[in-house]
Chain A
Amino acid sequence: MKNNVSRRSVLGKITAAVAGVLAAPVAKAAKTVTEKVLVTTEAPKNYDPSKHRWAMAIDASRCIGCGFCAEACKKENHVPEGPYFRTWVERYIITKPAPDSGAARGETLVDCPNGGMHGYPEPSVPKEEIQHSFFVPKLCNLCKHSPCTQVCPVGATFDAPDGAVLIDPKYCIGCGFCIQACPYGCRFLSPVTKTAEKCTLCYHRITRGLKPACVEVCPTQARIFGDMKNPVPDDPLQKFYQNNLLVSLKPHLGTEPRMLYAGIDKEVR
């Protein structure tokens, strides 16, 4: 009896081992098949994201509100028609205070018709009543502690090693949580792809040595783009950092944007 039991256990072990040896390659083969299904492109590997650190800054005092950037972004990235923007330009109008009001300034009017792509209508207040007026380009703030990537349930949006905050269009489930979590309104749910979309810093351009489309077409260098790890001689971004006092948007939220602004007012948020 005892002998029988031990023989059976030995037999069991041998069968288990054989089954294991047989199952492993089967599983591996099946895995390669699923991998082929899940990976569809053979992307070039000549770009090393760990060797770059992209950054961008806005000099709002140079923005003339032409809207070339918003238009170029829509064309370059095939952004759908309608209220969907990866970048846009806001117009701020701060009126003079009412006489005897004792206030430093009047009310703040903000508008951004169609993302600023086609310019702006006449201000709703007469020119004489305007105390300050200026344009502010907006786009992804490249947060150091990005609330949008934090809340993605599947890992479809992420901080790339090179500083871009990206969305994986093949992996996004379209839940919209990241859109809710972005304090700056920089994300939208594309009605075409049904996934979240946002500024990629024109990832397909910067990885080929080009500037993002909005930076390319900006006639006044209000948008400054650069690589923190590979500064070019006389780097405009480094110069901008050295020559300006900088602020970020909504600093109280602790997102620590890497997108820094010069020349904006406290009303900008």
Chain B
Amino acid sequence: MRRLFIMPPQLFRIFLLAVGIVAAYLIARYFLTPPSFGEYGGWYRGAALAELATRDRVYAGKKACEECHGDEYAKLTKHEHKSLACESCHGPGEAHGIDPRKDNIDRSSYAACIRCHEANPSRPKWHKQIVSKNHYTGSKCTECHLPHSPSEVP
């Protein structure tokens, strides 16, 4: 301790200032580092994982649809469209699942068929495509096709 006082006064003042700054930094760091920082071993807030996981979903998922619409679901899984999710054509369904009404789910428009099946040179050849204006001049795809069971004839 006495040695410090032999330091020239300039150096001693600077030294005190430096100690003060470092101490202030360490104290600030003690208080301002988020508590879960480094929880999973990485350089991040561990709580962020749970925070990101708790967001609400918008798309409910196939299983949620099956709970009420089991018959349609069963029909769908037996035909060519079995790989489709309900929400591919009907749009996000979480709101409809919570409050099942007819107006908060897309009851599906004809554009949905065309969106996949309109002929397009970029689409893979195995995929069934039509040129809609040559294909049928009527008004509804469902006159001839059942979306949930495409191979059946209505």
Contacts and interface: CB of A to CB of B under 8 A. Distances in A.
Is any CB of A less than 8 Å from a CB of B in the complex? Answer: yes
Interface residues of B, number: 43
Interface in B43-70: 43-45, 47-59, 61-62
B31 A76 contact: no
27 contacts: A41-B47, A41-B50, A43-B53, A47-B50, A50-B40, A64-B123, A64-B127, A72-B87, A75-B58, A76-B59, A76-B92, A93-B122, A119-B115, A134-B124, A135-B122, A158-B44, A161-B40, A166-B49, A168-B48, A200-B52, A203-B49, A204-B52, A204-B54, A210-B57, A217-B85, A219-B81, A219-B88
Given A38-B35, A72-B87, A213-B59, A62 B124 contact: yes
A30 B27 CA distance: 11
A207 B56 CA distance: 12
Interface residues of A, number: 65
A230 interface: no
Contact of B32 (A34, A49, A130, A169): A34
A68 interface: yes
Given A65-B120, A207-B53, 18 more contacts: A27-B30, A34-B32, A35-B34, A43-B47, A43-B54, A62-B124, A123-B122, A155-B43, A155-B45, A160-B42, A160-B49, A168-B52, A170-B45, A203-B53, A216-B87, A218-B85, A219-B81, A219-B116
Given A68-B88, A161-B40, A61 B54 contact: no
A159 B44 CA distance: 9
Interface in A37-73: 38-39, 41, 43-45, 47, 49-50, 61-68, 72
B36 interface: yes
A75 B94 CA distance: 12
